[in-house]
Amino acid sequence: MTAFPIYLDCDTGIDDALALAYLLASPLASVKGIGTVSGNVSAAAGARNTLDLLQLAGSADIPVACGAHDPLAGSFGGGAPWVHGSNGVGEVVLPPSDASLAAETAAEMLVRLARLYQGELRVVAIGPLTNLAEALRLEPSLPSLVGTVTVMGGAALAPGNITPVAEANIWNDPEAAALVLASGWDATLVPLDVTMASVLEEPHRQALLSSSAPVPQALGEMLGYYFRFYEGIYGRPCSAMHDPLAAALAVGAVKPAVAPVVRAAVDTSSGPGRGQTVCDMRGLYAGYPEVKGARCRVVLSLEEEFAPHLVETLLSHFERTTAAELVEAVPAG
Ligand code: BDR
Ligand code: CA
């Protein structure tokens, strides 16, 4: 089975942690580098969380680059501790990694990997799009170098989660998102329309918590925090699965049912529409006929339920990785 080379751009983050663990567990993915960006927490705090998670997973050899602290316009707003906890991982204390950050920035890492795996690299962006925008400035031919780009973000027909129309990743850097969606690549957008409909329930969390392996256990604990936030939205302890769903779609492990390719732009005004992904969904009533020149595939629904696949992939991988293998994978000194 071919494993796709992956660059993951994230703001780790509880659901980012799930996405990272999922990509480590999936036989379809080979994570070549991770860049962090301010979003759920600062880029620096996200990088620490990422290093700690990688060490816990026995993957401390994967390079992590700290990316943009501030969005293209304005400054970092302080994160979302009410959703992800003050440390970004639901107040769970992970064993601190002794690995260091890469010497390059996240944008530099993305450009380097795109050149290295020309035409093959799968970019999975699950935080604000600042690093991708910076990479496009650094290497204007980036769109022709990468294989695919999958972005968790936006809301096509569904409401936003920060304002009535804006989703968090786009809201946190609309200027970057506008640039990324206007670039000459075919992007797949995984918006709230599909992620809010992909729900992890308490029995799924219990399955992770009762695992014998440390990574699923830690994820189960983090999800306790996440579930408390989402209880206020769904009326029961559960959570949306934003970032891991984008990761699974990026490697083709789950298939979209309805995913029209449409024109999409981002509102960068300072009015009530700021941060909205303006997707042209007017084809809805005609079964989404082909739109000439459109490049943004918007995932609206899935062929199958996602949560069972997510839990099964995590448990089967991490329970197979023995404690001895984990010790071996942690670099000495
Ligand atoms: C997105 O915002 C962040 O809080 C999550 O990690 C996810 O990437 C959902 O709107
Ligand atoms: Ca995220």
Question: Which H or E element spans position 201?
Answer: strand 199-201
Structure-block tokens of residue 217: 């256990």
**pLDDT (mean) for 172-183:** 98
Pick the residue with more confidence: 329 or 44?
Answer: 44
- Distance between start and end Cα atoms, the chain: 34
Give the span between the Cα atoms of 245 and 55, in whole angstroms: 23
Please state, in angstroms and as integers, the Cα–Cα distance from residue 330 to each residue in 9, 128, 150, 302, following that order.
23, 30, 30, 37
pLDDT > 90: percent of the chain: 95
Q: Report the sign of the C-alpha dihedral through residues 170, 173, 179, 180, in that order.
A: negative
Measured in Å, residue 281 CA sits from the centre of ligand 1 at: 23
Q: Inform me whether the pLDDT recorded for 279 exceeds 60.
A: yes
pLDDT > 70: percent of the chain: 96
Has 11 been annotated as catalytic? yes
Band of residue 1 on the pLDDT scale cut at 50, 70, 90: confident
**pLDDT (mean) for 209-221:** 98
Q: Inform me whether the pLDDT recorded for 329 exceeds 70.
A: no
**pLDDT (mean) for 218-238:** 98
Best of 41, 223, 242, 245 for a ligand 1 pocket test (most atoms within 8 Å of beta carbon): 242
Q: Kindly give the number of the ligand 1 atom that is closest to the alpha carbon of 243.
A: 8
SS3 46: helix
The pLDDT, as a whole number, for residue 105 is 98
Q: Inform me whether the pLDDT recorded for 30 exceeds 60.
A: yes
Q: What is the pLDDT of residues 75-107, one digit of tens each?
A: 999 999 999 999 999 999 999 999 999 999 999
Domain ranges of the chain: 4-332
Q: Answer whether 85 contacts ligand 1 (Cβ < 6 A).
A: no
Q: Inform me whether the pLDDT recorded for 326 exceeds 60.
A: no
Active-site choice (84, 204, 242, 309): 242
Q: What is the pLDDT of residues 115-150, one digit of tens each?
A: 999 999 999 999 999 999 999 999 999 999 999 999
Band of residue 332 on the pLDDT scale cut at 50, 70, 90: very low
Q: Kindly give the number of the ligand 1 atom that is closest to the alpha carbon of 80.
A: 4
Measured in Å, residue 78 CA sits from the centre of ligand 1 at: 14
Has 69 been annotated as catalytic? no
Contacts of 308 (CB under 8 A, 6+ apart): 204
Give the span between the Cα atoms of 114 and 7, in whole angstroms: 9
Best of 9, 10, 15 for a ligand 1 pocket test (most atoms within 8 Å of beta carbon): 15
Give the span between the Cα atoms of 311 and 313, in whole angstroms: 6
Q: Answer whether 168 contacts ligand 1 (Cβ < 6 A).
A: yes
Q: Inform me whether the pLDDT recorded for 331 exceeds 70.
A: no
The pLDDT, as a whole number, for residue 324 is 46
Give the span between the Cα atoms of 173 and 326, in whole angstroms: 37
Looking at the chain, how many residues does it have? 333
Q: What integer best gives the mean pLDDT of the chain?
A: 96
Cβ atoms of 174 and 297 within 8 Å: the answer is no
The pLDDT, as a whole number, for residue 84 is 98
**pLDDT (mean) for 327-333:** 44
Q: How far is CA 141 from the centre of its chain?
A: 23
Class of domain 4-332: alpha beta
The pLDDT, as a whole number, for residue 320 is 87
Measured in Å, residue 18 CA sits from the centre of ligand 2 at: 10
The pLDDT, as a whole number, for residue 325 is 55
The DSSP letter of residue 100 is P
